[in-house]
A and B are shown apart, each in its own frame.
Chain A
């Protein structure tokens, strides 16, 4: 949008807004509410509901000279347009006069409202939207109080139309504003909704199979201006005014979407607070006003009945409940006995405070703190991560984005949506992967490599960019060359570096190369530029920042060498059953968890931790934004926050850690971590007004996404902002040996069958299935017909799976989703045969 300002008058208020602004938005900025239904500030206007009708006049001009005509007082004469105009489709113009509150305009809007009520059932007392419904609000404000339409005369339609497994449509309540249709098409990139029929018979339908097939479907319930769209999760669950709202951060992926948890005390939960729904909270630089369906619906794990509620210790080979005091004493004894032989393993699922204390404790006893997430590059993000103030939503023409070794749609849907948006705005998108992913459809350049050649491909790009002689053996032709050219020419460059199909060593090499490309093209150290690692967990970057490091592919040895192992928030045995052996025997094992995992079952001491909804803390997102989350519900049983458990354990070991509050722990983080030096809980809670306004009294305008009053978080500056002379040394990719059979590559599926998803039963119909994907050619040579059962031989065990052949999967490779019940840690060669 151009910065040229236009002056106009709206209801006698002088307004100056950028050229191109629509009248309705100009009025909003001036504090004048024009009611809308179909208009949404994030979606292209269509002017179909006609609710925003206003009178519009423009300066009268002399037809021959084009000069403005003045009245007797020297003021421009205003010529009002004959009809009422929709303020959502009319752009402002210099000298325009808008009458929102004239009798004619008010009368016009009043009648539109009456039209809308001719089919609306007015079932507000049982409607989920009641209390936060724009139609209800507008009728209260403008409605005549009596209807000229008798109920029998109204159009009666289906009230429970299951659009998909997650969203239900009430056709009587629907006012056919098409916000949902247009959101799906323009914002979500999944155009799966449409109108069927025409005229008075139009109705919303879905034409995908399964119905409403989109990871973003829940957002339509936020922007639906009436109660037509509801989620199966919240439907008939509570009234909006009964619920408390607590700010939180999503823990399902590294995007760090800002959430609001709506809770209510319920008798059926024995008077405990329960989470009724998860709502997006506005943060324009992170998730705007959207969240994905996993974030919205997969929250039940946090309050699951299956949670651990009491400490357990192993007595006579059995885990039995005990007191915290005894459990901690027992754990401390075991760890003390191990001396320096303590190995700690934690994942990026937990908060910075937890990870900081974990790292400090292990450092204090002379042990080693290992990060379980097997992806390299955390220290590179610290150096050349995206600059402070980066907003993917502002990337567009002239900018470039490289996505390599990642399927963002499955791994981080909101990043996928924002990258797609940037591409639609004109950014050059380069997608490099070994297989086709959905982002290919928006890419200007698709680079297809073979699995195990991701790092070599990155080096090929680097070679094409720098022309360096020592890289000449990686030189490649099209399409790499033109992709490299696009990256070089871009004003801003953001690289998303994933880990699909990579071993740790490859991941190390690839992230080095990505960082080197950014340095060589001088796209570091400033906003809108830098490296984003597509981490497997929400706070993996935080774990790196707190000092944890991966085992570099040799977890088994680390365990084998340890005398005692302390595991927090990760289930290594569940992920790789072969590790069980190395954890058994004399080794003392302490597991701090939410659930009784396969790893916990082996433990000597099990410490029950709190989930993110029961406590406070901070997470650091993939864009390195530190954000706060707050306690929403009372803690389950005797559970404690991870950081506090560690403090208590440390105390039993005679080590003094901060025990007053999470905020105090964070002060220590800030003290010891240079990049976090300026941050504290107060600064993380700061906010500013954001555009568009959402969650206000005028719910019709931006929807029911919550306004952010709890903090936008602070983006940490990468070292490159200070150090301009930064150099990154690329590293050669590893050579692969022992190629035999098929390369089994684990891929990420959003709706996996992991412990954080399964407790949300609503998602069960949508869960990914454990299916072995293969190329058509391989299927033929194995003798697989679509859907046949095959046997997969890996690590000496045999897994039975259904096989599906699909185009776009490279030959010699079989793909299997992670977390679907067949554990696979890294890509490995396997044997595949048809089940006899």
Chain B
């Protein structure tokens, strides 16, 4: 590995790295994101390597194969992309590898059965960039994720990595950097959307020699995994952003607060830090600028509240991870009482891009008040589960239908929960709103850190709200009364409603509780915890009332409000349901209509799922 002391040496190294690349050599990139790994992408990669070793004897075939970060299209993993053509294969198995090498690499023949089929048109699509899932995205932060081997700093550098740092250290003053950030309009991607440049300026203006920058990688929203994927797939981008930020604010020490449940991200980040230290891009006198900076990793233990900045700071300090009141803000009184700047992984990762392409260019993406791109992890009842990076301002409809491929099984869209457990739901009638900070807020949701859960028509919104409430209630640290007691009171009320014990006035009571918790809680967790409930009440109050007044669950989800029965005319007496019922609640004889005993039935739905004759009715 090279040792880089000056900007010149960085350029020279980059050129030499570029020179080593054979543009004619086929490159197979296997997605190494967590989703694809679960599907077996590591084995696929090994198979490609084995194939290479085995075939080397005849020397006619040569190719390069590497594991990259998450490609985003997790629904179809393991994903394999073959370059330079850009052919994308989906759901690749180990058994497909020999064929891919034999056909595509050797003969440049496309294997059609591995191609993505657009469910709208039923057409096979050959290249990654033509897949609708990718076509409508604007992948800035995730841009290199599918291309780099994240365990090698050389790959990042050969792709232009650390060029922004070079630009900053050789030609920009700290104030220039902050000015660029302010002009870019970047807003904190952790969810609150505070203008990053202003935040940096506040920290820079604080007196004192010791300051800290922290990368908040304590991603905790259920279903959100973009921060994880960035750190797994391109950790150097985050580091470069942090170094630039530290230079601008005058910090010499940085911390990455990352949860221990992300072992691959931790591993890649550790590697990235040690490699950057080895080549001299972290440490003393970086690129001969006189600027020193080091980064340490602090592992979190998975408490959701530790994503709150003051709790995160307490945790780094070795205290119990609980928030404290602000002001003073971390910019004045942060880690160990020193001025501290905390940004989310995506915010830090945006920094090198802004410096590289310029603030004007960056500000040209997005809306009047919300600039740049935003990453969503799209999960729930949607065809194309995955990570999506779009310009801010794109409509929810585009995101769900064009990129997300719509709702599976021909069901209809009911609502999307944006912003995780701190956010709110957006119903079908607002599908055309632009996704930006202000619009989302006006509808009772938030941008949050990018979790997007799609609910279809079979989703009970009371149950849906209770799910998120259960999450925040369990994650409440218990420090302040409204969150500690109030979230539990809300959850108990919701559970009561779902169980069929709702009382008149419960909905107003939930609203009252929710508003109080929001305005009186200590930290962001409590201040946003009621949002899922309040927004579902806002758009689906009739569903709540149906539970309470009519004692029915319109979506037929809440067990306390539904009964299973046998439709006599459809039942053939096949006994399949009877045998499968775990409670022994079904009585009947062969070729006779079966009966479900509601007193024994636990509403598990097993009979319905095994019945081949649509003879089970739930109501």
Q: A: which residues have CB within 8 A of B?
A: 45-51, 53, 83-84, 86, 89-90, 108, 111-112, 115-116, 118-119, 148-149, 153, 175-176, 195, 197-202
Contacts and interface: CB of A to CB of B under 8 A. Distances in A.
Contacts of A195: 320, 478
B509 A47 contact: no
Given A47-B325, A199-B474, A115 B522 contact: no
A27 to B, nearest CB: 17
B473 interface: yes
Given A90-B327, A116-B485, A148-B509, 10 more contacts: A47-B324, A47-B522, A48-B481, A50-B481, A108-B516, A149-B489, A176-B484, A198-B303, A200-B476, A202-B478
B477 A50 contact: no
A149 B492 CA distance: 11
A45 B478 CA distance: 16
B519 A49 contact: no
Given A89-B325, A200-B476, A118 B519 contact: no
A176 B519 contact: no
A112 B521 CA distance: 10
A83 B527 contact: yes
Contacts of B518: 83
B35 interface: no
A765 B125 CA distance: 81
Contacts of A46: 324-325, 479
Contacts of B479: 46, 48
Contact of A83 (B473, B477, B489, B519): B519
A48 B476 CA distance: 13
A153 B520 contact: no
Residue among A47, A90, A198 with max Cβ neighbours from chain B (10 Å): A198
11 contacts: A47-B324, A48-B479, A115-B482, A148-B509, A176-B478, A176-B484, A197-B478, A198-B303, A198-B477, A200-B478, A200-B487
A89 B513 CA distance: 24
A89 B327 CA distance: 8
Contacts of A111: 482, 512-513, 516, 520
A86 B325 contact: yes
Contacts of A86: 325, 522
Contacts of B155: none
Interface in B479-499: 479-482, 484-489, 492
B489 A118 contact: yes
Residue among B480, B484, B489, B519 with max Cβ neighbours from chain A (10 Å): B484
Contacts of A118: 485, 488-489
B516 A201 contact: no
Residue among A45, A48, A116 with max Cβ neighbours from chain B (10 Å): A48
B475 interface: yes
B485 A50 contact: no
Contact of A115 (B303, B473, B486): B486
Contacts of B509: 148
Contacts of A90: 325, 327
B461 to A, nearest CB: 24
A175 B478 CA distance: 11
B303 to A, nearest CB: 8
B496 to A, nearest CB: 9
Interface string B388-430: 0000000000000000000000000000000000000000000
Residue among B477, B481, B513 with max Cβ neighbours from chain A (10 Å): B481
A676 to B, nearest CB: 48
A94 to B, nearest CB: 15
Given A115-B486, A119-B485, A53 B480 contact: no
Contacts of B481: 48-51, 112, 115-116, 175-176
B480 A49 contact: yes
A200 B473 contact: yes
A16 B487 CA distance: 39
Given A47-B325, A86-B325, A200 B480 contact: no
Contact of B476 (A51, A53, A119, A199): A199
Contacts of A197: 478
Residue among A47, A51, A149 with max Cβ neighbours from chain B (10 Å): A47
A605 B516 CA distance: 74
Residue among B486, B520, B527 with max Cβ neighbours from chain A (10 Å): B520
A50 B476 contact: no
Nearest to A91: B327
B324 A50 contact: no
A794 to B, nearest CB: 49
A585 B572 CA distance: 117
A115 B325 contact: no
A50 B522 contact: yes
Residue among B325, B475, B482, B522 with max Cβ neighbours from chain A (10 Å): B325
A112 B481 CA distance: 7
Nearest to B473: A199
A266 B473 CA distance: 50
B476 A198 contact: yes
**Across chains A and B, which 10 residue pairs bring their CB atoms closest together, nearest first?**
A202-B478, A47-B325, A115-B485, A89-B325, A199-B476, A111-B516, A200-B488, A199-B478, A48-B479, A198-B478
B322 to A, nearest CB: 9
Contacts of A84: 519-520
A48 B310 CA distance: 14
B100 to A, nearest CB: 50
Contacts of A202: 478, 484
Contacts of B478: 176, 195, 197-202
A50 B488 contact: no
A456 B492 CA distance: 71
Nearest to B491: A200
Interface string B546-570: 0000000000000000000000000
A118 B490 CA distance: 12
A51 B324 CA distance: 16
A50 B492 contact: no
Interface in B308-343: 320, 324-325, 327
Given A115-B481, A200-B488, A108 B520 contact: yes
A156 B520 CA distance: 25
A153 B501 CA distance: 13
B521 to A, nearest CB: 7
B480 A50 contact: yes
A200 B484 contact: yes
Contacts of B520: 50, 53, 83-84, 108, 111-112
Contacts of B487: 199-200
Contacts of B486: 115
Nearest to A175: B481
A47 B480 contact: yes
Residue among B492, B516, B522, B527 with max Cβ neighbours from chain A (10 Å): B516
Interface string B84-122: 000000000000000000000000000000000000000
Nearest to A110: B516
A45 B328 CA distance: 13
Residue among A83, A84, A195, A199 with max Cβ neighbours from chain B (10 Å): A199
A55 to B, nearest CB: 10
Contacts of A89: 325
A489 to B, nearest CB: 26
Interface string B218-256: 000000000000000000000000000000000000000
B474 A48 contact: no
Contact of A199 (B327, B484, B521): B484
Nearest to B512: A111
Contacts of B473: 199-200
A109 to B, nearest CB: 9
B557 to A, nearest CB: 24
Contacts of B475: 199
A53 B516 CA distance: 11
Interface string B454-482: 00000000000000000001111111111
Residue among B492, B519, B527 with max Cβ neighbours from chain A (10 Å): B519
Contacts of B519: 83-84, 108
A84 B482 CA distance: 12
